A and B are shown apart, each in its own frame.
Chain A
Amino acid sequence: MAALEEELTLSAVPLCAGPDGLLGVEQSDKTDQFLVTDSGRTVILYKVSDQKPLGSWSVKQGQIITCPAVCNFQTGEYIVVHDNKVLRLWTNEDVNLDKVFKATLSAEVYRIHSIQGTEPLVLFRKGAVRGLEALLAEPQQKIETVISDEEVIKWTKFFMVFRHPVLIFITEKHGTYFAYVQMFNSHVLSKYTLLLGQEEKSVIQSFTASLDRKFISLMSLSSDGCIYETLIPIHSSDTEKHQNQTVVRSLLLKTVVSGNARNSPALTVLDQDHIAVLGPPLPASKECLSIWNTKFQTLQISKELPQGTSGQLWYYGEHLFMLHGKFLTVIPYKCEVSSLAGALGKLKHSQDPGTHAMPHFVNWETSQGCGLESQSSELSKRILRRRKIEASVQPEIPASKQLLSTIKNDSEKHIEIELRKFLASKQTPDFHTVIGDVVVGLLGRCQTEPSFYPRNSLMQLIQMQVLSHSLCPRLMEVALEKSDVQMLQLCLQQFPDIPEAVTCACLKMFLNIGDDSLQETDVNMESVSDYTDAIQDEKMEEQNEILQNGFNPEEDNCDTCDKELNGKPQNTVEETSSCPVIPKRAALLNAILHSAYSETFLLPHLKDIPAQHITLFLQYLYFLYLKCSENATMTLPGIHPPTLNQIMDWICLLLDANFTVVVMIPEAKRLLLSLYKFVKSQICICSELNKIEVSFRELQKLNQEKNNRELYSIEVLEIL
């Protein structure tokens, strides 16, 4: 659910915001630090969590900044343009903007864009685009004119699409809007005319855009208060290249803000389904920041801003920036994926008490308590004086943060060492969330760097027994991609809340993976220790007898199938006494059997497994059942073997999901017949047990009556 947290005000230095508000807020290369450019002469670098400025730079009197300062993520320098044409580059160490590098360009700059992973782009007022490096190499180069004379750039945004920079800008000419999409690498520029549709008269007041696979989803907020969406293709088809195409906009959300507001409203995309809108919801009301879910067309949360805003809204990371009254206000925004398991906190019961470091009962309050604690510590951080005390009281927090930064940059080996150090230190109450953050950090790096796969570190973290699938949903996905069966087995053993789809994907992989590649892996074999090399010389007759578990199937209607089965006794012996899968695969399958699931969610996924794999798995389960029924306690040997209930449940599930398929396969026929027989015997056992229970109760009653008779006695007691 989307949630707005308490706002922070960056009020250390009053901004000299003009009537149009600020020029811009941009990210810097360090998280939590942002460049704020006011409409006058000043650029300020803020650290948001501390609510204090780290640096401030101004241009000379008479000069005026015309374009918001940005950070070059590749070099860490800051770039600003003043007086339309003069480019300034500086770093944190520089004090005076007059003395820093300066380049005067030949055309007026509209904006500089800079995002992570590419060099900054400079967009000129006439629509031309240049890379910063190329521009600095030859500042006075000629800049072409792209857009027509009366066109004015209204809004622009820069994306990375499949590692290629793409720039979109919107221009306006006599009430008509055009969208230009510039593919920077291929230098292809596509132009689109935005058709306003029925709402011809409305004026577009604000734009925002997000990437949606092959399209740029451009959202516009019109003066009628509605939000419209326009899909602009990134790669236009070749034939229509350079031609003026038209795109239509469709209504996305109706009347989110009042039509005739004093200030123009603003909007920004937060994620796939959420947008933030700044503006008054009703003509008379005060301005509000509201978060809308576009998928469900619902207002998620809204916050009143009584002192008015400048109609500008920026969103970076998890912070929304806006000018509230005279001060720049930051509202942290979070949209957490709610997970049922996270809420329920299911815990698997571990059978060996020695290895468990968890408390005996689930304390539902601690996580809550922790949350409150951290919130309160955040609150108190605002008071600088107290912050020092906090820091000395809680030295663990920096340790985890340090580890997270290590993960972002260092080598696998180094991370492993650091991690070991961290794990050896004292466990804090919020230990599991910290571990979760560490895993998410590691996986995040896996995602960006395909070669990075810190297997040992991940294994070590899983073995801490505090992780769950909902804490690090990407982990099993990555392991599945890498076909890392050992890791998957460990996850299946440790996580209490694996979604059924993932369990089933694991099952598919375990059944599918070749015997040769399995032999190379190092799988935990404790659940299969003995029974695969069980004594083979047991006689079939004996087994048959025990299989009935005391029930004599004389009046069994299944005589014919018995005969059929006994017709090839050689085969039967083979089928029942040797394991149909190799021990390593058996260990993996046992991990599946142990995992928690809900039938309703598992069944649809089981249908996707190929028929021969289903048969193999059924054969294995049947084999386990036979092994189970060999002893009186109905258990398997080994340290942590699958229980009879788990075996039975899985047999039922597989048959339920794939019955029509299995029935058609000739090699499964024998198996089905045997299964039918054992189900029948199970039903008989249950009915017998229920009968016995009644008899036992009678015995118990008799026993009680016997006790009751001794209502009075005289005994001798000696007390010393």
Chain B
Amino acid sequence: MGEFNVHRVRFFNYVPSGIRCVAYNNQSNRLAVSRTDGTVEIYNLSANYFQEKFFAGHESRATEALCWAKGQRLFSAGLNGEIIEYDLQALNIKYSMDAFGGPIWSMAASPSGSQLLVGCEDGSVKLFQIIPHKIQFERNFDRQKSRILSLSWHPSGTHIAAGSIDYISVFDVKSGNTIHKMLVDRQYMGVSKRKCIIWGVAFLSDGTVISVDSAGKVQFWDSATGTLVKNHLIANADVQSIAVSDQEDSFVVGTAEGTVFHFQLVSVTSNSSEKQWVRTKPFQHHTHDVRTVAHSPTALISGGTDTHLVIRPLMEKVEVKNYDAALRKITFPHRRLISCSKKRQLLLFQFSHHLDLWRLGTTVATGKHGDTLPLSKDADHLLHLKTKGPENIICSCISPCGSWIAYSTASRFFLCQLNYEHDNISLQRVSKMPAFLHSALQILFSEDSAKLFVASNQGSLHIIQLLEGSLKHLHTFQAQSGSVESMCLLAVSPDGNWLAASGTSAGVHVYNVKRLKLHCTVPAYNFPVTALAIAPNTNNLVIAHSDQQIFEYSIPDKEYTDWSRTIQKQGFHYLWLQRDTPITHISFHPKRPMHILLHDAYMFCIIDKSLPLPNDKTLLYNPLPPTNESDVIRRRTTHAFKISKIYKPLLFMDLLDERTLVAVERPLDDIIAQLPPPIKKKKFGT
């Protein structure tokens, strides 16, 4: 199939932000995750844990609490004192509202979903009414001495528990009065600590309040009498989070030592109806603080400072012991942070507040498989482009010719022109942006770098003609009538005639760029699209979905290709379908029309459509066969999927020219090295 020179890039020093909150929505089986930089991500647990939406962060918007209310409405609150509602359709912030209580530390939606409660720095607990398109302040509860760090509603909605410093208060919702104050012991292993912070509370329907605190305790309180019922000392460090299952038969807590403990309500003896809470399973999937946990009906979800989102299915709740029962650890975003200019061999790296432009090195040497070639010129860091303002970058792109860079934050769109004069480069910002171009979810340049395609909120697609130092608006494809869904993925055909765009759930739309009209819509599929690309010459649209299916759709013929039908009929290899991470990029070889190049975080694959498809009995990952084997054997064992797992975790891979590939890796060790040190545990002696 061929030999490639691979530019193996490990200098993309991207560090994901730590996870601060997770909120699980049972109705839609979606998980909202907020990070310390204010980013909020939505994972679809039904669609192979795909990260289908995200809201870019904001420097001053450190989220401390995240919750779903009224079914599908998502709220967050943070240290800037504001409550924010997210628009899950348009993928922007609907509104933010100051609670006027100082930084907000906690938030909880009422069991009915119609009320929202926030706990503030000044010790106030504020109740908001959730009304259509808005929230409305209703009243304050009795003011407490110090900040309210945790809140929980009684399932009936009549009482709430609020965790503060050194005590837990129980409020009556109707009157807003404190019914009980339950003082928490500050003692920690016989030593009196200065303060005991209640990091989390959970109110059960039988009136039990469970609290977790900074002294490493999980405590059970009787809210009717305000007395301590039971005490579990589970950690030498803080217990920072708690989540209870809907059935109230199990809950999960996370500690600063990175351990997650599962508690279950278990019969005291077999056959007896009396039950008690027992600490059953400890899990150590994190190295750092577990800041937040969630409990879905079938899994324990945890996240923390070490940036991993861990989804641990409960074996006894999983009906079929298949691949879904395996542990999932999600570290990298399911979208591209890197774009590349093939012509000039440039890589553009997107960080939260800046862009880095690198030029790849060169070599004159040749070698055989596995060799590292001597560099005649090392990679150069050309440009460090900082954004202005507190907003994170949503998306960025470099044009194939390398002379344009476009990026966007939530409120501003930036376009820059680069001029190369020998070793010097100069950057010139295109200053006058049309008013409609204020924010983009996805940006794409045409192959000849003459056109710019921008997917904005509200589902519209702009086509812009690039001129020297300025731009000209050509056309806007408005959203399909009735839908406000934003497009997240774009693909343009190399000849520039076709533009494909896909949202999170509806099908892929294909537009004719010359005639400026919708050409066709690829039938909608159950699982979201993770990558799109249009092949040169044939104009076949290749679509990868989060369930690891791949479709090939002929745009001129408006139908699936024969190869696509064949592979759908035969089915993919089971190991292919069991991969964890979605395909994030698809590209094509200019000289070999039968090849499709694609990659996920752990493998790189070339699909050769001319070869037979593998069935479940054949080896999917075939290593390099010995060269002395006869051609017959080679031909017999060979199949369409050529997979290489050398580069991992792989964030980006593309073909620079016929014989050159670029692979951007981000080793986990490098990320860990940049995190703060974890709590030290002594290994020897006690």
Residues of A within 8 A of B (CB): 1, 3, 334, 336-339, 342-345, 361-368, 370-371, 374-375, 430, 433, 470, 683, 686-687, 689-690, 693, 704, 707-708, 710-720
Tell me if B276 is interfacial: C-beta within 8 Å of chain A: yes
Identify 25 residue pairs between A and B in the complex whose beta-carbon atoms are under 8 Å apart, listed by A's number: A334-B272, A338-B268, A342-B270, A343-B269, A362-B281, A364-B266, A365-B316, A365-B317, A367-B266, A370-B270, A433-B270, A690-B684, A693-B683, A708-B670, A712-B9, A712-B10, A712-B361, A714-B5, A714-B361, A715-B5, A715-B8, A716-B368, A716-B371, A719-B1, A719-B4
Shortest C-beta distance, B499 to chain A (Å), equals: 31
Residues of B within 8 A of A693 (CB): 683-684
Shortest C-beta distance, B250 to chain A (Å), equals: 9
Q: Is the CB of A716 within 8 A of B268?
A: no
- Name B622-641 residues within 8 Å CB distance of A: 622, 624-625, 634, 638
Residues of B within 8 A of A704 (CB): 669, 673
Interchain CB contact (< 8 A) of A714 among B368, B375, B673, B682: B375
Q: Which of A370, A708, A712 has the most CB of B within 10 A?
A: A712
Shortest C-beta distance, B610 to chain A (Å), equals: 14
Give the complex CA separation of A713 and B361 in angstroms: 8
Q: Give 20 A-B pairs besides A371-B270, A719-B4 with Cβ atoms closer than 8 angstroms.
A: A3-B272, A343-B269, A363-B315, A364-B280, A364-B316, A365-B316, A365-B317, A371-B267, A430-B270, A693-B684, A711-B9, A712-B361, A713-B8, A714-B6, A714-B7, A714-B372, A714-B375, A715-B6, A716-B366, A716-B371
Tell me if B2 is interfacial: C-beta within 8 Å of chain A: yes
Instruction: Give 10 closest A-B pairs by Cβ, nearest first.
Output: A686-B685, A718-B369, A689-B684, A711-B11, A365-B316, A716-B367, A718-B3, A712-B379, A711-B10, A714-B373
Residues of A within 8 A of B9 (CB): 711-712
Q: Is the CB of A1 within 8 A of B268?
A: yes
Residues of B within 8 A of A361 (CB): 281, 315
Q: Is the CB of A716 within 8 A of B373?
A: yes
Give the complex CA separation of A367 and B264 in angstroms: 13
Using CB atoms, name the residue of chain A closest to B682.
Answer: A690
Tell me if B661 is interfacial: C-beta within 8 Å of chain A: yes
Residues of A within 8 A of B370 (CB): 715-716
Interchain CB contact (< 8 A) of B684 among A686, A708, A715: A686
Residues of A within 8 A of B670 (CB): 708
Interchain CB contact (< 8 A) of B271 among A337, A344, A433, A687: A433
Residues of A within 8 A of B353 (CB): none
Using CB atoms, name the residue of chain A closest to B2.
Answer: A719
Interchain CB contact (< 8 A) of A720 among B638, B673, B682: B638
Q: Is the CB of B625 within 8 A of A714?
A: no
Q: Is the CB of B266 within 8 A of A343?
A: yes
Assess A363 versus B316: contact at CB under 8 Å? Given A689-B685, A690-B685, A715-B373.
Answer: yes
Residues of B within 8 A of A683 (CB): 685
Tell me if B274 is interfacial: C-beta within 8 Å of chain A: yes
Q: Is the CB of B264 within 8 A of A715?
A: no
Residues of B within 8 A of A345 (CB): 266
Give the complex CA separation of A368 and B97 in angstroms: 47
The number of residues on chain B lying at the interface, defined by a beta carbon within 8 Å of a beta carbon of chain A, is: 59
Using CB atoms, name the residue of chain A closest to B265.
Answer: A368
Give the complex CA separation of A345 and B281 in angstroms: 12
Tell me if B89 is interfacial: C-beta within 8 Å of chain A: no
Shortest C-beta distance, A454 to chain B (Å), equals: 24
Assess A344 versus B278: contact at CB under 8 Å? Given A364-B264, A716-B6, A719-B4.
Answer: yes
Tell me if B598 is interfacial: C-beta within 8 Å of chain A: no
Residues of A within 8 A of B2 (CB): 718-719
Q: Is the CB of B272 within 8 A of A716?
A: no
Residues of B within 8 A of A470 (CB): 269
- Name B1-39 residues within 8 Å CB distance of A: 1-11
Mask for B347-384, Cβ within 8 A of A = 1, else 0? 00000000000000101001111111101001100000
- Name B269-303 residues within 8 Å CB distance of A: 269-274, 276, 278, 280-281
Shortest C-beta distance, A614 to chain B (Å), equals: 25
Tell me if B320 is interfacial: C-beta within 8 Å of chain A: no
Residues of A within 8 A of B683 (CB): 689-690, 693
Residues of B within 8 A of A714 (CB): 5-8, 361, 363, 372-373, 375
Q: Which of B264, B280, B367, B638 has the most CB of A within 10 A?
A: B280
Residues of A within 8 A of B366 (CB): 716
Residues of B within 8 A of A708 (CB): 670
Tell me if B412 is interfacial: C-beta within 8 Å of chain A: no
Tell me if B644 is interfacial: C-beta within 8 Å of chain A: yes
Residues of B within 8 A of A344 (CB): 278
Residues of B within 8 A of A364 (CB): 264, 266, 278, 280, 316
Residues of B within 8 A of A3 (CB): 272-274
Interchain CB contact (< 8 A) of B4 among A712, A717, A720: A717
Give the complex CA separation of A718 and B622 in angstroms: 13
Tell me if B534 is interfacial: C-beta within 8 Å of chain A: no
Shortest C-beta distance, A682 to chain B (Å), equals: 8
Tell me if B438 is interfacial: C-beta within 8 Å of chain A: no
Interchain CB contact (< 8 A) of B268 among A343, A365, A720: A343
Tell me if B606 is interfacial: C-beta within 8 Å of chain A: yes
Q: Which of B3, B271, B280, B371 has the most CB of A within 10 A?
A: B271
Residues of A within 8 A of B378 (CB): 712
Interchain CB contact (< 8 A) of A719 among B274, B379, B606, B669: B606
Shortest C-beta distance, B364 to chain A (Å), equals: 11
Q: Is the CB of A717 within 8 A of B273?
A: no
Using CB atoms, name the residue of chain A closest to B685.
Answer: A686
Shortest C-beta distance, B386 to chain A (Å), equals: 22
Residues of A within 8 A of B624 (CB): 718, 720
Give the complex CA separation of A686 and B683 in angstroms: 9
Residues of B within 8 A of A362 (CB): 280-281
Give the complex CA separation of A339 and B10 in angstroms: 57
- Name B593-635 residues within 8 Å CB distance of A: 606, 622, 624-625, 634
Give the complex CA separation of A430 and B267 in angstroms: 14
Using CB atoms, name the residue of chain A closest to B280.
Answer: A364
Tell me if B646 is interfacial: C-beta within 8 Å of chain A: yes
Give the complex CA separation of A368 and B634 in angstroms: 56
Residues of A within 8 A of B363 (CB): 714
Q: Is the CB of A713 within 8 A of B316?
A: no
Residues of B within 8 A of A371 (CB): 267, 270-273
Give the complex CA separation of A425 and B397 in angstroms: 68
Residues of A within 8 A of B269 (CB): 336-339, 342-343, 470
Using CB atoms, name the residue of chain B closest to A2.
Answer: B274
Give the complex CA separation of A338 and B275 in angstroms: 11
Give the complex CA separation of A693 and B278 in angstroms: 36
Q: Is the CB of B673 within 8 A of A716?
A: no
Tell me if B642 is interfacial: C-beta within 8 Å of chain A: yes
Give the complex CA separation of A712 and B373 in angstroms: 11
Interchain CB contact (< 8 A) of B11 among A334, A363, A368, A712: A712
Residues of A within 8 A of B622 (CB): 720
Q: Is the CB of B316 within 8 A of A366?
A: yes
Give the complex CA separation of A577 and B622 in angstroms: 57
Shortest C-beta distance, B603 to chain A (Å), equals: 12
Give the complex CA separation of A430 and B270 in angstroms: 9
Assess A713 versus B11: contact at CB under 8 Å? Given A364-B316, A718-B2.
Answer: no
Q: Is the CB of A717 within 8 A of B642?
A: no
Give the complex CA separation of A371 and B271 in angstroms: 4
Q: Is the CB of B3 within 8 A of A717?
A: yes
Using CB atoms, name the residue of chain A closest to B662.
Answer: A714
Q: Which of B270, B274, B622, B634 has the most CB of A within 10 A?
A: B270
Residues of B within 8 A of A712 (CB): 7-11, 361, 375, 378-379
Residues of A within 8 A of B646 (CB): 717
Shortest C-beta distance, A340 to chain B (Å), equals: 9
Mask for B644-686, Cβ within 8 A of A = 1, else 0? 1010000000000000010000010110010000000011110
Q: Is the CB of B271 within 8 A of A374?
A: yes
Using CB atoms, name the residue of chain A closest to B608.
Answer: A719
Residues of A within 8 A of B644 (CB): 717, 719
Residues of B within 8 A of A686 (CB): 684-685
